Amino acid sequence: MLQDKTIAFLAAPEGVEQVELTEPWKAIKQAGGTPKLISTKSGQIQAFNHLDKADTFAVDSTVEEVSAADYDALVLPGGVANPDFLRMDPKAVEFAKAFFQDGKPVAAICHAPWTLIEADVVRGRTLTSWPSLRTDLRNAGATWVDEEVVTCDAGPNKLVTSRKPDDLKAFCQTAIEVFGG
């Protein structure tokens, strides 16, 4: 379903929620796609299981080395610290924003919409997230709903969002469908 499609996963050097990285990664591979890990620094990223350090993962490229044109879609995994670090990095924000400008699909889970708020791409869209982002998203012009998975095509691209790790099965399935066209 995703043959010949390369999917960018954007994560900060530390703070990504491991399962929100590994489960979509595995789903992309099983669907025939090629996932690539993009970060703000080369080397490895440190994943977390909530607040505890988990595994490390090798970075394929940095945001300075690539552009959205190199990929067919973008996955933004959560974790509290991950999107907070990303939204403070102008190159990471521009990388995420470029997928919207290019009309390419994006999937974001848990706290990941913080990066999208910073990129100013949620206005007029309906999405979900970890509940603590509800006010931030509304203040940024989005409509927030409490649902397992939401697909919004109100803008130039499709945006898939989910709330938390418990939603990963629906998140992965919907992202694969959207990324496959």
Active site residues: 110-111
**Tokens at 70, concatenated:** 């190199």
Quick one: tokens of 30? 């099983």
- Distance between CA atoms of 84 and 94, rounded to whole angstroms? 15
Residue pair 137/127 in contact (Cβ under 8 Å)? The answer is: yes
d(CA 45, CA 37): 9
Q: Token pair of 51, please?
A: 């607040």
